[in-house]
A and B are shown apart, each in its own frame.
Chain A
Amino acid sequence: MDINTLKEGRKLLTEYKYELGKLDKGYTDRSLYINISENKIDSKPVTQMMKDKFVGGKGFGLWYLWNGTTPTTKWNDPENEIIICGGPVCGITQYPGSGKSLVCSISPMTNIPIDSNVGGYFGPLLKFAGWDALELQGKAEKDIIIYIDGNKGVITIEEAPLEAIDSHVLAEQLTEMYADNEADKRNVSVVTAGTGAEHAKMGLLNFSLYDTRRKVTRFKQAGRGGIGRVFRDKKVKAIVVKFSGVKGNLNNPVDQAIINKAGIKMHKEMHNLDDKQNRMRKVGTGYSVEIMSAYDLLPVMNYQYGGHEDAKKIGPDILINNYLTQGLEDGCWYGCSMACAKTADNFELQTGPYKGQRVTVDGPEYETTAGVGSNCGIFDPRAILEINFYCDTYGIDTISFGTSTAFVMECYTRGIINKEITGGLDLKFGNFEASVELLHQMSRGEGFGVVVGQGIHQMKKIFSEEYGADPDFLFDIGMEQKGLEYSEYGSKESLAQQGGFGLTNKGPQHDEAWLIFMDMVNNQIPTFEDKAEALYYFPMFRTWFGLYGLCKLPWNDIVPEGNKYTSEPAKIPEHVQNYLDVVYGVTGKRLNTTDMVRESERVYNFQRIFNIRLGKGLRANDRVPYRSMGPVTKEEYESRQERYDGQLKEILGYDTEGKSTEEKMAVLRKHRENQYEKLIDAVYARRGWNSNGVPTLERLKDLGMDLPILVDVVKDLQ
């Protein structure tokens, strides 16, 4: 459909004009509030209190979300919000990974706040258009598109009945519509979801960037927790921002020189060392598939196993040689020399409504390859790329989709569900056709795909209540916690990583703590106290990226020469100093490493209390499925019998001679579950929480977070 026809279908609902304003030390000092129930648009001040206590990014997102909702707000209530906020460093162009947006909402998967960190140009362009954050509330009557013109200072809400819904079509239409010419296209960024997000709770948001070399619109995803589902439930088709005139100093920083110095040093490091280290510039995060398999960490067939001989078939060399087109500059914001956002061009689709078309596929990222690939027993790169493409354009999270599909495949294999229930789909491990059909069903809103799209938490309930499955067994093998599906690492042999997944705020996602190598491979954190310290420091440290609009990858997916000789190599001290320098350069705040962690801790504890306010966030909610801890089934135990027998003998002094596998499994399980409980005790104590996981009033006071609204929630739980 041509652009003029699309425009003719539009109906203007409201228009809002604003002064363009100017950034100061990384902030515009105001945020944009849009209520689509009332078609009301307003400017809100960003206060000094917000900056001091919440910094920006997910800090601002959670603050607005708390104020906009109540303890009874559900994900699909009109008052639920979607907040997009970059943070004060977001938008600088000199330091790699500085274009991130953080998106917050009450999640349909978990019914507690979710935060998702995403690249693409939207966050920086929104800020240069004059807004630190976008706060979206309400629910439209008909499909709408919101447009922010950051050069003219005009915002419109229009009914948009004719535009496509699937992201790869819609973003192309809107980029074409709003750009003045080809050169102007990179000044337009679009947030979209897709048809899948209309039916599946695991819906995501795509954030676009225009690739001037390939001449296509590409995407990065705010994947976790179903924010795309909220977006479509609000009847938003897209949010578009346009700003032309990006320069390297638009944040109006206090000290540009110190930012330049840190940035150029990192560019040189990337130039000199990336090829020798992780090859992020060549293959992106997919570099680690074979490494994970070698260390028994790659999820295979619903996390039953940790490796597979076919892992090499979906490894980095196959992708580089056959699918990825190397454009050299594959960053998701200007100045990212890590450039890990890989792309396969001219990929011919085999299935679905776009069958036969040649498309551009972003990725596949490691999480996607492991989730929709190995975890589902699929070791075919073409299959992974096809599922990746459809997940993206339909607006479906590849991690939740992969883990949920792996779960139903195991249920199918074990006879818990059958073809009658799946609508004829032969959901055995390795069946690409059945897996991709689930996606097409999510898009069409029909069949078993819609059930899978609700996620494992819902499926466990349905399978036990309607199909008579054993709920305890489903709890053991269903890899979700708090309603969110696990991301793609086996954690059975790393107690610290079991906590890294289980003791998160939003659900089991590796962005808080990835401790497997420190714990299991390098044995750097042997005691409970060591592990607790790691589960204090790393989640706080990593939260910090999300406050400032930064990406975690340039922190530790490359390390400086000589890093291993520093006092704490796992923390990458030189890179931490770079971040402190950059924050000083932008904001004028001189932080040390303790201040940095305290900034995060304020927001982290706020989020924990937000969970408690919404009915989760206590010790009971930090319980994890046994599949994340140890062997649930006989086959799993016997696949690693030597290791488990050895542990029983060495650690517990248990004589395994003559014992059945079931007997040994029971002893091992008791031990491992006990270890996890002890870990929780140690971590809660280190974080300043009581034994029920509730932040203590002393800790809140110490952090300056004894705000009356927070004290009210926790005072009776002390």
Chain B
Amino acid sequence: MSTAGKVVLVTGVSRDLGRRCARALAATPGVDRVIGVDVVPPPGDIGDVSFVRADIRNPVIAKVIAKEDVDTVVHMSVIATPGSAGGRHTMKELNVIGTMQLLAAAQQAPGLRHLVVKSTSTVYGASNRDPAMFTEEMEPRRAPRSGYAKDAAEVEGYVRGFSRRRPEVRVTVLRCANVIGPQVQSPITSYFRLPVVPTVFGFDPRLQFLHQDDLLGVLQHAALDGPSGVFNVAGDGVLMLSQAIRRLQRPSVTLPGFAVGSLGSVLRQARLADFSPEQLSFLTYGRGIDTTRMRTELGFEPRWTTAEAFEDFSRSLTPTGGYATRMIDTASRLVDPVTIEHTEAGQGARRG
């Protein structure tokens, strides 16, 4: 395998993260060419990426892989919400059938050396019987029955099948925590963008985030020299939902679980927020993933911690609450001058 002249195929470039990833890969030294594939052209600038309009759900993709002599495939088109795709049926078609076709095409391609799949930590589910931190070997406590989580689990199943049939191809599966960032449009960001954030009564889930730059970083890292295996990818540390909302300085409203669920579907139908049904259990029980292997085996170190990534995201939002903070700040300013004097006097006394 010649290191100079990697040809990378990226699926799902019509979406923002896919496009950014393709561009970042194109700018990486050691990558010769990047081919972006999607059913609709990307809305923004794709730089040096050559776009091929192809549907991964039909065998055309095999021809693209063969003709362009692709050696690395970065599969990013597993989507979390129907959104623009138009309905759960289409979403499932895209996710599952698309992956099957892509893998079938990849199996026929003799030149393929490396497959990178962007999966999600949603495959672990979220329930009250979850361990605090999921490691890569752990199974979800309840098998997902519907939606994105089921799609992601099936995609991973097909990827495992592929790696059995083509053992010489390195297969890197990245189970990423919720990607967050100023430009990210996802169920979790649209949830936090609501002016009043609904929470589930009596539960305070733990959340982990991955900054969008780190997602690009890890995909780049994995596409260049990622080892075989499954890796959890998330920023350091966790945030409680209550803590996150307070940091956003947004008011929250506490509702019983079923009400949050139905509010979510109302919001989705009104196209106000991209609220997915699996999100309800996530917002009830939360989830934590262990990232030891990401450091030791994958050799990737995220630059943003969970809290920093969230802070970067919150900077793009205008706070709709935060009156209490302002009141406390005013009170502190009234007290502070005296205090500073006191503490300085105290320190002076201690020094002297």
Is B truly associated with A?
A: no
A interface, CB within 8 angstroms of B: none
